[in-house]
Chain A
Amino acid sequence: MDDRDLVGRARRGDPEAFTQLMMQYQVPLYNMALRMVGGPDDAADIAQEAFTRAWQKIRTLRDAPFKSWLFQIAANLCYDHFRRGRRYGEMPDEESNKVIGLGILTPDPQERAEASERNRLVRESIEALDHDMRLAIILRDVNGMAYDEIAGVLGVPLGTVKSRIARARAQVQEHLQRYPDFFPSTREDAHAE
């Protein structure tokens, strides 16, 4: 796809090119993992491990789009996380000069406060989904991927993607409808207003 130039350079061992790919995908990849596993530290571990593996294996990437391939690596790590409660990507900090990169966490207090009840309920409803449905709907509604791209990440047919997304939405909706104020406009009695 369009990362071709950077991927080509990264395949030849150019860390700058790979770093640019990381810069481009770190936020979406991290958010995919975050919505899958819930915890920021686990999500960051998974994203870090996915980047490390992608970098180590990038020479094996042929025609597949880098993005799908990267997300597939991260998705597999999420499944591993669920299966084994495994953690990844401990920073190799035995020698402090090997790696820097501990970012400074800057949670915006205001945003936290506004991370309203609403978002909490949405997260809760996503976490109630089984892993397959959860991943499909995250790739669609968090990452904005098209169905064929999702099929590439998941390695399943389009029909399966369609069905997982639909069932996930129905379950999330059902979950959210337990909270009467969540969908005011869809409640039948709302027409009375």
Chain B
Amino acid sequence: MPSEPRIPTEPTLEELSAYLDHELDDDARARVAEHVAGCADCQARLDGLRQTAYAIRALPMETPTRTFTIPAKPRESLRWAPVAGWIGGVAAAMLIIVFGVTHVPFSPAGTSSAAPASKTSGRLAYGPPQLSQGGAAAPTTHSDNIPADSSRAFAAKNTVTVTDPRNNARRLSLMTNAPTYATDGWMVVDGTMSGDPSSNVGQIHLVLRRGSYGVELPISSETFTNTDSIGFEGTYSIAALRLPAPVSGSYTLTATWTATDGSGVTLFAELPVTIK
């Protein structure tokens, strides 16, 4: 049956698809919207495209099967070259927040207690570490979740919490049970992801790196899950990690957590770790 004359022209496949993606200009968008509102066939076409797009978007983001590396210097032969002194000037943990591929405007959430947000300029912020126990708004009671025999004194030095400046509730905390390990020691890493209901431990990438090389550390377990946070933990034998010779040196333990809300915002928490 032909369309009623008052309904605007039948939209093309391309228009319906671009309409889904908010990629039509205002006139075209209005025309498609008006047509679809009055045409059950096109409503069904649009639904089909939408469900198809959602089905593709539902594919899991998979973890790379290895950690990527680069040669020590551009255009030079591959050579292991630790970046001497990179950690040297850093007294304690360094905070780095990397915003990912987002065009979402900055929209502060309710609280504004997080120091890092105020230091943010552009997309990359450096600032002092924010200790878990100092974060007034932090819902985490992270240190309660680690074994009692872990050194609290060390933990205080080797803990960092980064906060998503768009959403102060979203935080990533990272800690190790010591700042320094023997080459035959064991490192225990604990972390907490807070303030994101869609979070799961699979979203965390943990890498121990030195210079531009690193090993990915698999997370062995979830330590707890509650309404607004998830804890994770891993225990690693230093000797069993494939670290470069000589193993002794200054490393950086990095945890990245990319939001799954489509914003692409990545929280990036780093801790210095020394092996000797």
List chain A positions with a Cβ less than 8 A from chain B. Answer: 2-6, 13, 15-16, 18-20, 22-24, 26-28, 30-31, 34-35, 40-41, 43-44, 47-48, 51-52, 55-59, 67, 92, 96-106, 108, 111, 115, 118-119, 122-123, 126, 137, 140-142, 144-147, 162-163, 165-167, 169-170, 172-173, 176-177, 182-183, 185-186
Contact = CB atoms under 8 A, between A and B. Distances in A.
Given A97-B244, A119-B60, A147-B18, A102 B205 contact: no
Interface in B120-162: 122-124
A26 B68 contact: yes
B211 A186 contact: no
Interface in B146-203: 202
Q: Is chain B's interface secondary structure helix, strand, loop, or mixed overall?
A: loop
Interface stretch (B30-38, B45-53, B110-118): B45-53
Given A119-B59, A144-B264, A98 B80 contact: yes
A52 B70 contact: yes
B220 to A, nearest CB: 9
Contacts of B65: 40-41, 43-44, 103, 105
B98 A24 contact: yes
B218 A23 contact: no
Contacts of A172: 52, 55-56
Interface core residue of A24, A35, A108 (most chain B CB under 10 Å) = A24
Contacts of A20: 96, 98, 268
Contacts of A102: 66-67, 215, 242
